[in-house]
A and B are shown apart, each in its own frame.
Chain A
Amino acid sequence: MSIVTLHINDATHEVDVDPSTPLLYVLRNDLGLRGPRFGCGIGQCGTCIVIVDGVAVRSCVVPASRVRGQITTLEGLSADGTLDPVQQAWIDEQVPQCGYCHNGQIMTAKALLDRNPDPTDAEIREAMDGALCRCMTYYRIQAAIKRVVQQPMADARDTNAAIAEEVAE
Chain B
Amino acid sequence: MSDILELPKAIEEGLHRINPSTSRRNFLKSSGALVISFSAGAIPGPGTLAAASDADPALMVGPYPDPDYRQLDTWIVIHPDNTATFFVGKTDGGQGTGTAFRQMMCDELDIAYDKTSLIMGRTDITPDQGGSGGSDAIERDGWPMRRVAAEARRVLLELAAEDFAVPVERLVVSNATITVGSEPAMSVTYAELVGGKRFDISLNGENVDATRGLANVKPVNQLRVVGQSLQRYDIPAKVDGSLIWAVDVKLPGMLHARNVRPPLAGAVVSGIDEASVADLPGFVRVVRRGNYVAVVCEREEQAIRAARQLRVDWERPADPPFPASDELFVYMRRATPTTISEPDIQGDPSAAFAAADQVVVAEYEVPFQGHTAIGPAHALADPSDGQMTIYSNDMKSYRLRNGVAEFLDMPRDQVRVVYMDGPQVYGRTAADDAGFEAAFLAHELGRPVRVQWTREEETAWDTKGPAYVFKLRGGLDAGGKVTALEYDACAADFNHVGYNEPDTVLIAQLMGRRPETPAAGSAATPSLMYGISNRRTTTRVVGLPLVWETPLRTGNLRDPNGPQVTFAFESFIDELAAAAHIDPVVFRLDMLSNSDEDDVFRRARSIAVVKAAAGAYGWNTRPSPQTPAAQTHGGQKLLTGRGIAYTYRNRTIAATIAEVEVDRQTGRVWAKRLVCAHDCGLVVNPGGLRNTIECGMLHALSRALWEEVRFDTEKVTSVNWQSHPTLRHSDTPESIDIVLVNGDPSPDRSDLAPYGAGETSHKPLIAAVANAIHDATGVRLRRLPFRPERVLAALRTAGVSTS
Check if A21 is an interface residue, CB within 8 A of chain B. Answer: yes
Task: Name the interface residues of A1-22: CB closer than 8 Å to any CB of B.
Answer: 1, 17-18, 20-22
Question: Contact flags (1/0) for B728-764 with A, using CB distance below 8 Å?
Answer: 1111111010000000000000000000000000000
Are the CB atoms of B421 and A98 closer together than 8 Å? yes
**How many Å from the CB of B15 to the closest CB on chain A?**
8
Are the CB atoms of A100 and B374 closer together than 8 Å? yes
**How many Å from the CB of B228 to the closest CB on chain A?**
5
Are the CB atoms of B720 and A42 closer together than 8 Å? yes
Partner of A18, one of B301, B695, B726: B301
A34 vs B613: C-alpha distance when bound (angstroms):
42
A-chain residues with CB within 8 Å of residue B423 when the two chains form the complex: 98, 100-101, 134
B-chain residues with CB within 8 Å of residue A106 when the two chains form the complex: 239
**How many Å from the CB of A102 to the closest CB on chain B?**
6
Are the CB atoms of B732 and A142 closer together than 8 Å? yes
Are the CB atoms of B455 and A40 closer together than 8 Å? yes
Stretch at the interface among B209-217, B240-248, B660-668: B240-248
**How many Å from the CB of B241 to the closest CB on chain A?**
4
A-chain residues with CB within 8 Å of residue B730 when the two chains form the complex: 125-126, 129
A104 vs B231: C-alpha distance when bound (angstroms):
22
Check if B650 is an interface residue, CB within 8 A of chain A. Answer: no
Partner of A97, one of B94, B242, B281, B300: B94
Chain A residues touching B, majority SS: loop
- Residues of B within 8 Å of A, CB-based: how many? 77
Are the CB atoms of A94 and B375 closer together than 8 Å? no
Check if B701 is an interface residue, CB within 8 A of chain A. Answer: yes
Partner of B235, one of A81, A99, A100, A131: A99
Are the CB atoms of A125 and B175 closer together than 8 Å? no
Check if B251 is an interface residue, CB within 8 A of chain A. Answer: no
B-chain residues with CB within 8 Å of residue A96 when the two chains form the complex: 94, 235, 238-239
**How many Å from the CB of A33 to the closest CB on chain B?**
7
Which of B248, B695, B701 gathers the greatest number of chain A CB atoms within 10 Å? B695
Q: A32-B17, A163-B228 are in contact. Are A134 and B239 (CB under 8 A)?
A: no
Question: Contact flags (1/0) for B14-35 with A, using CB distance below 8 Å?
Answer: 1101110100000000000000
Are the CB atoms of B694 and A139 closer together than 8 Å? yes
A-chain residues with CB within 8 Å of residue B691 when the two chains form the complex: 94, 97, 137, 140
Task: Name the interface residues of A57-111: CB closer than 8 Å to any CB of B.
Answer: 73-75, 77-78, 81, 83, 87, 90-91, 94-103, 106
Chain A's closest residue to B731 (CB) is: A138
Are the CB atoms of B695 and A44 closer together than 8 Å? no
Task: Name the interface residues of B140-180: CB closer than 8 Å to any CB of A.
Answer: 174-175
Are the CB atoms of B726 and A132 closer together than 8 Å? yes
Q: A75-B18, A128-B729, A142-B732 are in contact. Are A44 and B722 (CB under 8 A)?
A: yes
A74 vs B229: C-alpha distance when bound (angstroms):
27
Question: Contact flags (1/0) for A112-134 with B, using CB distance below 8 Å?
Answer: 00000000010011101101111
13 contacts between A and B (CB under 8 A): A18-B281, A20-B301, A21-B301, A33-B241, A35-B241, A96-B239, A97-B695, A98-B93, A98-B425, A100-B374, A135-B424, A136-B699, A138-B728
10 closest cross-chain pairs (CB), A and B: A136-B698, A98-B94, A99-B238, A97-B94, A74-B241, A35-B241, A40-B455, A100-B423, A44-B721, A75-B241
